[in-house]
Chains A and B, each alone.
Chain A
Amino acid sequence: MKSNTMILHTAALLIMPLQLMFSVFLLFRGHDEPGGGFIGGLVAAGAFVLYAFAFGAEAARRILRVGPRDLLGAGLLLGLASTLPALFSGQPMLTAHWWELPLPGGDYLKLSTPLIFDIGVYFAVLGTIMTFVIGLMESEE
């Protein structure tokens, strides 16, 4: 399925980057404000689905660069990777670890295993929906 309306094409090209940026924004603010990996992943999926509707499944595959199933795998691996620090320090599985890296200007960059985990959720959600949508669109062709 591929749409030939110019409005959709233009809108997709304009909206998609904004949507993706917004999804990352949601992902990172998630720990303190409404948002998080699940919601961010859904928004990012929305962006790619819009693109797929405008330009077709093949184009969506190209702009994703990696296959949707690889995204799934990456998400699950990140989720598992976030369990490693606790494992190697002898704590119960999924005990959170936090690292604060000083940034120039007196600020701190806060990294943590929940964040890695959340990024994993983001990719898993994105991968799942893209697998559905691209699979369905390709089965039509």
Chain B
Amino acid sequence: MLLAVLSGFLLALFAPLLHRVAGKYIGWLLSLLPASLAVYFSTFLSQVQDGPLLLEYQWLPGLGISLNFLVDGLSLTFALLISGIGTFILIYAGSYLAGHKYLARFFVIMLSFMASMLGLVLSDNLITLFVFWELTSITSYMLIGFNHEDLEARKCALQGLFVTVAGGLALMAGLIMLAIMTDSYSLSAILASSDPIHQHVFYTGAVLCLLAGAFTKSAQVPFHFWLPNAMAAPTPVSAFLHSATMVKAGIYLMARLNPALGEGELWTMMLMGFGAVTMLTGAWFAFSSTGIKKVLAYSTVMALGTLTMLIGVGTELAMTAFICFLVAHSLYKGALFMLAGALDHETGTKDITRMGGLRKSMPVTATIAVFAALSLAGLPPLFGFIAKELMLEALLDAPLWSSLLLVATVTSAILIVGVAGLVAIKPFFGAPGNTPKAPHEAPFGMLVGPAVLTIIALAFGLMPFIPENALFKAAVASVHGTPVDFHLALWHGINMPLILSGVSLVVGLLLFRAWPSIQPRLNAVNFAGSRVGPEAGYFKVMEWITVVASWQTRMLQNGVLGIYMLVLVAITFGLAGYTMFDQYGVHFTLNLADSHFYEWGIALLLVASAVFASSTHSRLGSVASMGVLGFAVALTFILFSAPDLGITQLLVETLTVILLVLVLFKLPEFVNLSTPFQRYRDLAVSVFAGVTMTLMMLAVLDIQYFESISSYYVENSAPLAYGRNIVNVILVDFRALDTLGEIFVLSLAALGVLSMLKLKAEDQHKP
């Protein structure tokens, strides 16, 4: 399982190499990985029937972070969707982006994204889940901004990143509160615990933070605006991110936590309220847009709202509808996005108003599109129909706000029927449109994915008992918390949901007929609304952040290095000194009897060079005496038999002198700019720091609160770590995690210096 989750990252490392070998078949080659993962995941199908499965791998047990994986109906549904749709997306991308300059790079990011997504839905540990969550944000940022030379694409990618990462921050706070409430970082333990956490004092805070994370990721109103903008991405990205993955991450989180948090009223009402509003908003904008990708993007917003609302309703029926709609949506939306890409690719336009009569030149595309759109509109015999009937049925007996939710759902169903007409009837039937390119059929690689997904949707519609028994029973049980008995069927007889479906179909088709005449008017309304909408708010917030940041920079970072040092030193030693004085007081014993004369010599050298360095007027003199200081310290290390420290100190001193020599000649003439007051202030702070440090050292020698760990290192270095050099063993074995952190800090510092140098060079070259 561990290998299965991480294999995407591993393959990503070799994708550029494979691209060189496989050439234009790279998509087919790489798709073998998700395909085999899908097969691997389906071996768990029979096991999850008996309840969730916990696969344990340690990672950082000392910090309570594990790589445990929780496999149950819900996570398996997601894992299968991700790997299954991922397979076709990779094939599709190989064909759609054939010959693209950065094709190899695309696959690197795409595979990493897929692996992060799998990790997210399978993680049992909250921290690990969060790590994968953030990884999906970062990789999707790179995917949305894949055409990075396009300013618009960069802007949209950044917008998506800001919104989802801001939510991610809230999510982290929420997860930590959840862990405090339940006393566990493990999802399986949290779900299994029977404590009434909705009475806990943190409950409201935790729910608000978790939902902030889930709502931003899953594009709920008022954060929905980033999703349609993310259509700046190449189509394979949209098809993957916005059908089964990225945006469903928030949905996954809500469904996952529903059994634990769902008893609270706040949770139910927020989910139903925001979900219903999002559903309506999405349906409205989908119907009033003209770009085919925008239409699909907004219909995704509508689907995400629907899913959120269904979790909020929370009844057994609603949960069944949730799982069915989740799968149905992933299947038809993945297919439709890929077909939209094919249309764009072959006709050269995304604008629906310019397409028409394409069924003659693109017959296969047209056939698949019609079937996928049937599922979108919720018509038999596709699986979308079953999902929609269940949904209406669930809302009919919802415990709260039933009629309100029903009106909203039927309204959006009407609009979605219109949308289905827009994507399946408008481009392919009627009078031929005026497309920039002469249309012809899309290549095989671009059609195989949509075809298979649509066939699956058809098969699930005709034989709903297959997915029901294989997976859905377990999935519904894990969302609901207890096993649920249900039976899926295409035909339920003539009942209320069917009548509502019929009404929405008729009205929806009428709306579609009227679309060419009313769309411009709808668009005008949207344009007027955009000035006060959430996206305008987003831009306001971004402006405000810039203003605050520049104010803060002016206040804290005025560019005078001396002040930075002063503040840092004064605060650090002030706090440390206060703590010491408070806890320990000032008393020490100093025994100088057994000191040797050469130790006095070194001490004298140290003091003399320090005094000279701070009082001289010559820069070179100051650098040289700092060098003397450093070497004297190295000498001290060697005297007290710490050769490693001594060598390191010597080398660092040497290199520091070299670096100083490099910058020394660039500095302006030495001038005394500081006033006497400033000099005495600096002196006072330095003396204070020095005295505090000395007192602290003496205090450390004097008292010992707990036993020193060094004896453990001395005793165990050779037997446990097979090394006799204790310093090195500590660095690379006992405390290797610290060292790992340090080399990362070192590298960041190097990159920071480099970018400062480059920025300066650019400034100088400006006219």
Contact = CB atoms under 8 A, between A and B. Distances in A.
B532 interface: no
Nearest to B743: A124
B708 interface: no
Interface in B703-754: 721-725, 727-729, 731-733, 736-737, 739-740, 743-744, 746-747, 749-751, 753-754
Contact of B743 (A30, A46, A49, A120): A120
B495 interface: no
Contacts of A34: 643-644, 647, 725, 727
B757 interface: yes
B375 to A, nearest CB: 41
A71 B420 CA distance: 53
B648 interface: yes
B506 interface: no
B652 A42 contact: yes
Contacts of B731: 36-38, 118, 121
A90 interface: yes
Nearest to A29: B725
B760 A139 contact: yes
Interface residues of A, number: 57
B123 to A, nearest CB: 15
Interface string A70-100: 0010011001101100011011111010100
A131 B643 contact: no
B724 A92 contact: no
Nearest to A83: B740
A31 B722 contact: yes
B733 A96 contact: yes
Nearest to A75: B743
Given A34-B644, A131-B751, A139-B757, A92 B58 contact: yes
In terms of DSSP, what is the predominant structure of the interface of chain B? helix
Interface residues of B, number: 51
Contacts of B58: 90-93
Interface string A8-34: 000000000000000000000011111
B553 interface: no
A54 to B, nearest CB: 13
Interface string B135-163: 00000000000000000000000000000
A140 B757 CA distance: 10
Contacts of B758: 135
Contact of A36 (B62, B666, B728): B728
B62 A92 contact: yes
Nearest to B661: A53
A64 interface: no
Interface string A39-83: 100110110010001000000000000001100100110011011
Interface of B: 2-3, 56-62, 67, 643-644, 647-648, 651-652, 654-655, 658-659, 662-663, 666, 721-725, 727-729, 731-733, 736-737, 739-740, 743-744, 746-747, 749-751, 753-754, 757-758, 760-761
Given A72-B750, A94-B733, A128-B747, 18 more contacts: A1-B662, A34-B647, A36-B725, A37-B731, A42-B655, A46-B654, A69-B750, A75-B747, A87-B67, A96-B733, A114-B733, A114-B736, A118-B731, A124-B746, A128-B746, A129-B655, A131-B751, A132-B753
29 contacts: A1-B662, A30-B732, A35-B647, A36-B728, A37-B732, A38-B648, A39-B647, A42-B651, A43-B651, A69-B751, A79-B740, A80-B740, A87-B59, A94-B736, A110-B722, A114-B721, A114-B736, A115-B732, A117-B740, A118-B732, A120-B743, A121-B732, A127-B750, A129-B655, A131-B753, A132-B750, A133-B658, A136-B757, A139-B760
